[in-house]
């Protein structure tokens, strides 16, 4: 029987590449998307065309009933859940003094409550030998101007991750977070001019932006062979910090 992975934010960007990588690793994958069913189906089609198993499931990650239904679907379709990758998130940038507080609340709902809700179901339902992988951001350490609200939500993700790893003592389930640096995704590139992108690409000693495949490789490691890596935040950023 295949191991089973749920990937939130799995219809685009790092989440989609991660879903495709886990499918290539032999996982049956549930691609969770917020609203764009066309993108989600495209991800499923790409996985199945490559010989993998996948289905799409819609959910607002901050809605506990919708997230529970995704886990129900995974169990009913594939027999259980072994890995949960929570890649869904939103980012809005502005100086702290200028950020609309309704935007702050929206980011908090998706990034913090969403992580809590997804991890709550994962903690209850992931099988022994499994893994939970959350997504933080290297901006928590880099502390770039304009990122205060977003970095604050990702700092919360790191706290949730480290505590949950300890709460699952005795379950043989690892809990880690991946914190990408500048990565060439639509989420990162949107609204940035070429000079800004070039400057951020030059920050890493490797002198390039990360790619979704770079990040998916780390998730693949944490989801599979990395049984002795637990309660950690992996800063996958090419050496920026």
Q: Is the pTM of this model over 0.85?
A: yes
Indicate the domain borders of the chain.
4-234
Candidate list 27, 33, 135, 150, residue with the active-site label: 150
Task: Identify whether 150 is a catalytic site residue.
Answer: yes
Residue 143, token pair as written in the block: 């502390």
CATH architecture, range 4-234 = 3-Layer(aba) Sandwich (3.40)
- Helix (H) or strand (E) holding 108, with range, is none
Compute the distance between CA of residue 107 and CA of residue 180 in angstroms, rounded to an integer: 18
The residues, ordered by sequence, that sit 6+ positions from 138 with a Cβ below 8 Å of its Cβ are 179, 180, 181, 235, 236, 237, 240, 241
Per-position pLDDT tens, the chain of length 241? 689 999 999 999 999 999 999 999 999 999 999 999 999 999 999 999 999 999 999 999 999 999 999 999 999 999 999 999 999 999 999 999 999 999 999 999 999 999 999 999 999 999 999 999 999 999 999 998 999 999 999 999 999 999 999 999 999 999 999 999 989 887 777 778 888 888 888 989 999 999 999 999 999 999 999 999 999 999 999 998 7
Hey, how many other C-beta atoms are within 10 angstroms of the C-beta on 169? 8
Hey, how many other C-beta atoms are within 10 angstroms of the C-beta on 77? 13
């Amino acid at each position: 029987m295949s191991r089973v992975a749920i990937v939130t934010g799995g219809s685009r960007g790092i989440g989609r590449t991660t879903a495709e990588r886990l499918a290539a690793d032999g996982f049956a994958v549930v691609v969770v998307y917020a609203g764009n069913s066309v993108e989600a189906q495209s991800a499923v089609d790409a996985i199945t065309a490559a010989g993998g198993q996948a289905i799409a499931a819609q959910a607002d990650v901050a809605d506990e009933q919708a997230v529970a239904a995704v886990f129900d679907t995974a169990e009913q379709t594939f027999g259980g859940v072994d890995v949960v990758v929570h890649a869904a998130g939103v980012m809005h940038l502005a100086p702290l003094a200028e950020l609309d507080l309704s935007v702050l609340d929206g980011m908090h709902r998706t990034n913090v409550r969403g992580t809590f809700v997804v991890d709550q179901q994962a903690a209850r339902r992931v099988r022994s030998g499994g893994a939970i992988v959350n997504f933080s951001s290297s901006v928590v350490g880099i502390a770039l101007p304009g990122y205060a609200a977003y970095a604050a939500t990702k700092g919360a993700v790191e706290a949730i991750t480290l505590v949950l790893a300890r709460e699952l003592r005795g379950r043989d389930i690892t809990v880690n977070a991946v914190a990408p640096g500048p990565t060439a995704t639509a989420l990162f590139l949107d609204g940035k001019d070429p000079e800004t992108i070039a400057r951020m690409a030059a920050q890493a000693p490797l002198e390039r932006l990360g790619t979704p495949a770079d990040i998916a490789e780390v998730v693949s490691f944490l989801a599979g062979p990395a049984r002795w890596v637990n309660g950690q935040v992996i800063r996958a950023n090419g050496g920026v910090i």
